Every structure is written in structure tokens, then in C-alpha cells.
Amino acid sequence: MSTKIQIQLQVNGEARELLVRTDETLLETLRDQFQLTGTKRGCNQGVCGACTVLRDGEPVRACLSLAVNSTDTELTTIEGLATNGELQPIQQAFVAEGAPQCGFCMSGMVLAAKALLDTNPNPTIDEVREGLSGNLCRCTGYVKVVDAVMATAAGKYG
Amino acid sequence: MNAMDDIIGSALPRIDSNEKVTGSAVYVDDLYRPHMLHAARLGSPYAHARILSCDVTTARALPGVKSVITAADLPDRNIGVAVDDEPILARGIVRYVGEPVAAVAADTLAIAQAALRLIEIEYQELPAVLDPVAALASDSPLVHENFADYDKRFSAPSDGNMLSLMEVATGDLETGWRESDIIIEGEFTTPAIHPQYIEPCGALAEVDGNGKVTVWSSTQSVFISQADVSRSLDLPLSKVRCIATRIGGGFGGKQGANEAVAAALAIATNRPVKLIMSREEDMISMRSRHAAIIRMKTGAKRDGTLVCRETEVIFDAGAYCDLSPFVPMYTVMMAQGPYRIPHLSNTARTVYTNRLRATSIRGFGTIQATFAGESQLDEIAHKLGIDPIDIRIKNAIRDGDKWFGSIPVPVASTVPCLEAIRNHPRWQSRHQQDAVKPGKRRGFGVCATVQRGSVFSASAQVRMSEDGSVTLTTAYVDIGSGSDTALAQICAAELGISIDQVNLVTPDSDGGVYDFGTAADRGTSQVGHEVQKAALKVREQLLEYAGEMLECAPQDLELRPRGKVGIKGVPQPELGFGDIAARGLYAGGGPIIGTHSSRVKDSPLDPEVTRSVGMDNVAMGAHFEFAAHAIEIEIDEATGQVTPVEGWCAIDVGRVINALGADGQIVGGFVQGVGTALLEELVWDDGRLANPSLMDYKIPGILDVPYDIHRMVLENPEPDTPWGARGMGDLCINGPVPAIANAITDAANVRLHDLPMTAERVLRLLIEK
């Protein structure tokens, strides 16, 4: 069994200190230590993007990130987007445009979309497609996901 | 009811949307129970071997390990939907690489996995059966030596490694060939593919103080899962409860998810046990679509009239039966495509091999034959100089035609679907679009498809509470299709209440209703039918009780929007549903509960018209479904890479229940079909799966598919379903595959006969030419 070291980080605005194994992935920390199960394990190999979280605003794959490398960072998981039950515009858009189907990829997809709009508030359809190219979805065919992002950029929600 | 059914067809967001964009939807791996253990399974390294010995003592001694089980610890019982051919842990023989041989429950997953490496098993390798054609030879080794001892629950003949033989013949082939001016013959192959739901399979089991097992599972059918646990562990069904969590996609691949192994470990440890597949384990050991070899021969007259078709399909069933025999039933039914063909002979064999089991993946036995049939129709059109849409319209079956065996087809929408594509402005202007870059070629392909939906049994219960809201129970599992929302809409529309007033019960084998499971486009049409009938009974009780309260006959009363009952033609008095239901509870005739259950109607083949083998005693489906697809593709001449550029989908859904849901199925099916056409294949290195990861098995990402996918939804209602709605999930995936094959021919004058149509395969044909 590997040794543990202490890290500190902000998770959805809350300061946390904890011990993590040196080989512990951020995905394990989020799901098993914090019970933030909105972050999904789809492939555990960095391909599907279901475990995407925002670290200092940048999308990262939690399954490929070691928890120790997230010390002194700010993490946002899907649970951290809505405040007091009020959905963020990107979440409202996903709902109203009918983007979720089975929903398993959606946590990662919503966060990837948020990161995209945070850096490029008025993307073209091609830029949206490029920005979401790291997230696999098996149900939707992606069209309504793109529509949701474009509608958010157009100010239709929120 | 006109003022009250405006919920039907609306673009309501799905009722589980909010939880899915906030991370609060609970999938099985998100469940944690007190004192829970984690489980892992050890897979066979051999495709076919005898287990000579198995030593688990070292593994059991590892600190943190709570239980190690093998077949020796379990009752001598098998599971299987169509044949009881499969032990939950291999007993004496392993039949595919990855077949679970032992399972461990431990304090952590890491300890469980470490314990697997301490299990010592001695195998004696046996000759592996890896080629389904060779497997049919009389001297082939047998995958199941003692098949005759199994409990078999379908009528199709079995022989040696042949699990099932199904045949139909109508008309006379010899006459057909004689009358044909042109005959096209070819062999097509389609590979095994994995459904690649993004959520891997998993289950969590626990046992209560009375020995009752509860499993939470990522299953498409709580009753198949319940039966798996019951049969394999020799427990009465009354001692097993299965609950479906939110399901992260299924596509036919989750008809059970190792619940019995988790349950066996929970019984052995008397603690909750969670068993979740990794992506690799899931790909190696869960389920695939059948690999198929399709030999097809089609004859037509000079004017393009189809005369004759002979189809022979061999399906690789893998090592265990699962739902295999139901798959060729659809192949045999649908091989003619949506066309009038007087002379037909369709044969399908499923064959055991030492590979991963295959089952009813989305497209359900139709996708393979459709690839061949729609390819050959284009070949005929090309040779005769007929437009591909014209030849399809010319031969299309029409409303009121008979399918073979004299099965009525009340609504046949091939022609309107094809015309919808032809009339689409982007199709009309398709040859005036962007200039093609040097080194690229563009082409267009079309196809028309038919599918059949609804099987076995379904039921529903609607109970009205004293505040006028209702609780709807069906046990049908929403695997992402949106069925929960559609069923809630059907219930709400029948009662004239809002969807917020419908409480949908999680699928639960203890829920008081039965459902076969999510498959075969049966949600909206078949389960929806039960919901509608159950809601109707609630209406009747409401009117009866209200009649007592208002002192008038029920037939003089009417339901009014927003949950009210009043006297026809009289605005007041009105009674709220809640008042009526409450009176039932405390002063009237009892709780208001409507239930309905039925099995889908049989449609037997008329033996005077169509001869058949193995087609009785199987569910034949109830509704024919029609679609047409078209696609523009671009081929890179240097690499052979095919890129879809633009798509057209015309689907007759009968009646839209939820506009967002229907649209999502159409686009999602199209994109999954593109994956089947161009990308996906389970690649085997002898018996071992060579690409068990999403890195090496590519599914369509957003950049692999077009954004411009035009959707045309047609609504020609079915006579006997809720509001005329038909299923569509299976239907939507079949078309893109032959449409792409036909587009490649249009672009480069080469014909692909094998899926996936990879750059390598296309380039080889381009070079040969």
C-alpha cells in the first residue's frame, strides 16, 4: 500500500484538507473521499471525458490526474455549478434544449461547455465542436449539446 | 379530450433532466451502503479450457478479503433468457476469454483485485471454436457438450453448435429467378460490436435479516435480473428484489449486469457488496452485437420491380445464449426490407463459438440484413439506370398491404419518408453546394428501412392520491431513451393533469407490476398502451365516485383540465380529483387504482402462404416501423477516409409523444449508425479481445459526425397504440449504415461488403480500381 500525504484544496468553494495516497487519482478522491459522485467513471483511461472537472477553471480529466497534483488548486465539480438550487445558464440550456439522454456523460459535458464559454463567450458552431471534442456521448449524437451551448452564448438562458 | 391532450407532442424537457445536469442522478456506482464491500472477478485466460483445479486459500488469507467464491460454492444452476446455458461463475469448463471463474469481496477494490492474483487455477486447454462456419461442421468441437440437458425455452431447432435455425419461405424461388431480368448476388460481413454505453455495467447486492436479497443494478430489465439471481442461487423469486438505478445507456447490452455474483458474495459475507465493471472488463465479458455473415441474392425485372430474394445469415452467438434466438427472428422477418417481394427465402442460424456472448443490441437483428439488402437494391438501380429513390418508391409496400404470412401492415410509410427526403431543400440543392476540394470525392446515398417493435408482456398501475396527483408504476427501465417522460405524458394526458402531477416509480421487481424489459422499441407503444389503459380505469373510478358525490350518472360527467370533474354542459359545481380520491379513501368505495396488463398480440404466419421453421413460440413484434435515411459523404482519395458531411433522417413515429425525445432518438441513432458503418469493431486475436478500451475501439466523437443532420418526423398513426405512437429507438440506427455504403459507391464507384468501412478497406478498393 502506498504512502499518504496531506493536501489542501478548494472544492466547490469549500476549503478541504485531507490525506491522499500518492497513487490516488483525483477521480477516486472526489468520488470515494468526498462522495461527489456526479463526477463519473466511464473509461478510467482519459478517453471518454465523463470525469471532466474544472481545476482553476481549466477542464481536466479527473481519472488521469493525481490528487496530489491538485494541492493548492480550486476545483469545480458538477455539484458546484448550481447555487441554492438555481441552475447556471449552461445547465438551464442543457435541460431546455433536451441535451441529456442517459445523462452519464453530462457532468463532463456541461463542465467542458462551461470552460469553453468562460474563455470564448461567443463561439462558432465549429469552435463548440472543437471545444467538446474530448467528451464522448453515446446517446445524443451531440447536436442538442451544441445547440445548448450556442443558445447559452446567445444569452437565451439565465 | 382535445383541450387536455396538448401535452402529447410537446417539447417538454425530460423529467430527469435537472438531476442529470447537476450530478445528482444516482447510477449504481454512486450508491454506498453501510459496511459495504467491493468485489472483483477473475476472468479466464483461455477461450476454451477445462478447469482442473482451483486453489483460493492464499487469496482468502489476504488481509481485508472477506470472501472468495467459485462455482464450487454455488448451486449447480444456470441462467439464460432463452436457454439455461450459463453458470454465473464457470463450472468445470471456461468458454470464452474473460469468462468469470472466481469472485472476491474485500474491504477495498484494490484488495479484491490483489486477491484475484493469488487465486491459482490449473487449466487444460481445449480446441477453441472461433469460426461460426467451421463450428457448424459435424466434426467441430462443441461449445456446449451437454446442450440437450439445458432448459430450452424456444422452439427453433438446435443441433451441435447451432443454437437456433429459423426459416421462412414464401412464393417460389425458382419461379422468381426465372422471372428476373437481373440478379445480384453477394456476401456481406458485419463484425461484433460493443454497445459502448458510457456507464459500465454494475450491481450492488445486500441481504436482509430474513434472507431476502436486494440488488440495485444498471439493468434494462429488473425481472431478467431478478430471475438471474433466483435461478443461479436457487432462491425463490419472492426472496429476490431487483431495483434499477439510473442507467447510463444500454442499447440492448444491459439485460442483466452480474447481479447474481454480487448477490452470492453478499450472502457469503452478510454485507452489502458492490461489483462494478471496468471498461475493459465490460468489453471483454458483457455483451456484443452478433457478428454476421450475410449471403444475399436479389432478382428484379428490367423496370426495377423486385421479384425474388434469398437471404442466408449466420450469426456468431458467442459462448452463451442470452437473447440470441430472438435476434435472427427479426432478421428473418425483415430481410426483404420495406418492399413487395413475392418470392422469398430467409434463413438465419445462430451458432455457439468460444467468444463473448452476443445479444439484441440496438437495431435488433435487422441492421445486418438491412446493410446487405439496401446495398443490393442500389446495385440493381445502378445497373438498370434507375434513380435510387425511384426504385425504392416503386417497390415500397403500401398501407394495408400484407407482410409475408399474411400479416397485416396497416400503415406503411416508406414512400412518404423517401419523399420527405427528396423534397428537403438541402437535398434538392445538394449538387449546388460547396466546391469539392482537390483530392476529395463527394457522394450521396439513400436507403429505406423497416423494423418491428413490441414484444412479450407489460403492465402498468396508476394510483391517485388524495391531493389529486398520481403514482405511475410500470417497471419499464428508462435507459436514456426518455421513456419515463413519455409514459408520464401519456398518463397525464389521459387524465388531463400536468406532468408534475405524475410520480413515476423507479423500476422495482417489488413494485406490483411486471415488465419484460427495455428492448424492441416497446416503451412508448407497448408499455404506453398499458399506461393508457390503467389511466382509463382511474378515469372510470373518478367519474363513478364523482357521480355519487354530485348525485348524477357517471356518463353525464366529464373530466376537465387541471384535475377536475364536472357535469357536462354545466360550469359549476366542479370537484377536484383530490376531493374525489380522498372520499374514496375514507368514505367512498376505496382507493382509486387502475391497473392493466397484457401480452403483445401474436401475429402467426399463415402456413398456406408462408412456410416457416422455428418461428412459432417466439415474440414476433406487433408494429411495423418505417424510416428513410440519406447521407452525403466525402472520401479522401489519398487515405480512403470517409467523412460524413450531412445527413437526412425521415422517421414515421406514428405520433410524437415528446418532441425533444423523438428528435434525440433520431439524431442519436443516426450517429450511432455512423459508428457502426465507419468505426466500430471488436477485434480478436484468436480468442482474446485485442481492443478492449475506448482508446483502441473508437466510437464517434463530436468531430467524427456532422452537425447538419436534418430530421423529418412523420406522423401517420398506428391504429392500436397510445395516440398512434410507434417505437423508434431500434429503427433509427439501421439506415445510416447502407446509406453510407451507397454514398461511397456514388462517390467512387466501389462497393463495400464488409463493416466497418474503414479508410483501409476503402483505399484498397480505390487502388484495385
Distance between CA atoms of residues B622 and B604, nearest Å:
11
Q: What is the DSSP letter of A30?
A: I
What is residue B601's predicted lDDT score, i.e. its pLDDT? Answer: 82
Kindly report, residue by residue over B537-585, the tens digit of the pLDDT. Answer: 999 999 999 999 999 999 999 999 999 999 999 999 999 999 999 999 9
**Residues A66 and A115 occupy one common structural domain:** no
Same domain, A39 and A64: yes
Instruction: Say yes or no to pLDDT of B2 above 50.
Output: no
| Domain final residue pick, A80, A109, A131 | A80
For residue A82, what pLDDT is reported?
A: 96
Domain that holds residue A142: 89-153
B653, B749: one domain? yes
Residue A145 domain-assigned? yes
**Whether A33 and A98 share a structural domain:** no
Q: Is residue A51 part of a domain?
A: yes
Query: What ipTM score was computed for the predicted complex, to two decimals?
Result: 0.98
Q: What CATH number is associated with residue A113?
A: 1.10.150.120
pLDDT, tens only, B210-263: 999 999 999 999 999 999 999 999 999 999 999 999 999 999 999 999 999 999
**What is each CA distance from B612 to B152, B165, B311, B405, in whole angstroms?**
20, 10, 14, 9
Are A96 and A75 within one domain?
A: no
Q: Average of pLDDT values for B58-82? A: 97
Say whether both A76 and A106 belong to one domain: no
Q: Are residues A74 and A114 in the same domain?
A: no
Answer whether residue B569 is part of any domain. yes
CB contact under 8 A, A47 and B670: no
Tell me the average pLDDT across B188-203: 98
In a domain? residue B342:
no
Closest approach of B217 to chain A, Cα-based (Å):
15
Grid cell in block for residue B375:
446495398
Q: Residue B620: is its pLDDT beyond 70? A: no
CB contact under 8 A, A47 and B13: no
Are B444 and B462 found together in one domain? Answer: no
Listed residue (B612, B673, B606, B734) closest to B329, CA to CA? B612
Q: Considering the domain boundaries, does residue B462 fall inside one?
A: yes
Please check whether residue B107 touches A, CB under 8 A: no
Closest-CA distance of chain A to residue B607, Å: 41
Helix-then-strand count for chain A, H and E: 5, 5
Please tell me if residue B667 touches chain A, with a CB cutoff of 8 Å. Answer: yes
Nearest CA in chain B to A85: B22
Does A158 map to a domain? Answer: no
Do both B422 and B547 map to the same domain? no
pLDDT value at residue A63? 98
Q: Are residues B651 and B577 part of one domain?
A: no
**Residue B288, domain member (yes or no):** no
Give chain A's mean pLDDT: 97
Domain boundary residue, one of A80, A99, A122: A80
Q: What is the pLDDT of residue B622?
A: 84
Does A29 fall in a domain?
Answer: yes
pLDDT in tens, A66-106: 999 999 999 999 999 999 889 999 999 999 999 999 999 99
| pLDDT digit string, tens, across residues B103-151 | 999 999 999 999 999 999 999 999 999 999 999 999 999 999 999 999 9
CATH number of the domain that A33 lies in? Answer: 3.10.20.30
The per-residue pLDDT for B1 is 42
**Strand-by-strand arrangement of the B502-504 sheet:** B502-504, B470-473, B457-464, B592-599
Residues A8 and A76 in one domain: yes
| Residue-number span of the structural domain to which B663 is assigned | 357-454+615-768
Tens-digit pLDDT profile for residues B439-471:
999 999 999 999 999 889 999 999 999 999 999
**Nearest-CA distance from B216 to chain A in Å?**
16
Number of domains in chain B: 3
Q: Please, are residues B554 and B546 in contact by the beta-carbon 8 Å criterion?
A: yes
pLDDT at A158: 86
pLDDT digits (tens, 9 = 90+) for B419-436: 999 999 999 999 887 788
Count of domains in chain A?
2
Per-residue pLDDT reduced to its tens digit, A37-57: 999 999 999 999 999 999 999
Residue B323 placed within a domain:
no
Chain A residues in contact with B671 by the CB 8 A cut-off are: 140-142
Could you identify the residue written with the cell 437494391?
Answer: B377
Share of chain A above pLDDT 90, in %: 96
Section B476-500 average pLDDT: 97
Whether B289 is in a domain gets the answer: no
Ramachandran category for residue B505: left, alpha or beta (phi over 0 → left; psi -120 to 50 → alpha): beta
Q: Does the pLDDT at position B744 exceed 50?
A: yes
| A-chain residue closest to B108, CA distance | A32
- Whether residue B21 and residue A91 make contact (CB cut-off 8 A), yes or no, is yes
Write the DSSP symbol of residue B450. Answer: E
User: In the predicted model, what is the mean pLDDT of residues B714-730?
Assistant: 94
Three cell numbers, residue B433: 453546394
Q: Identify the pLDDT of residue B435.
A: 81
CATH at residue B225: 3.90.1170.50
Given CB atoms, is A79 within the 8 Å cutoff of chain B? yes
Q: Which helix (H) or strand (E) holds A10?
A: strand A4-11
pLDDT tens by residue, B621-637: 789 999 999 999 999 99
Q: What is the DSSP letter of B302?
A: T
Domain boundary among A60, A80, A100: A80
Identify which of B177, B171, B175 has the alpha carbon closest to the alpha carbon of residue B610: B171
Return the bridge partners of B49, or none.
Answer: B94, B125
Q: How far is A91 from chain B (nearest CA, A)?
A: 6
Rounded to the nearest integer, the mean pLDDT of chain B is 96
Instruction: Identify any residues that bridge with B557 across adjacent strands, giving them in sequence order.
Output: B567
Question: How far lies B500's CA from each of A97, A131, B486, B536, B562, in Å?
Answer: 19, 35, 13, 19, 11
Share of chain B above pLDDT 90, in %: 94
Average pLDDT over residues B710-731: 95
CATH number at residue B501: 3.30.365.10
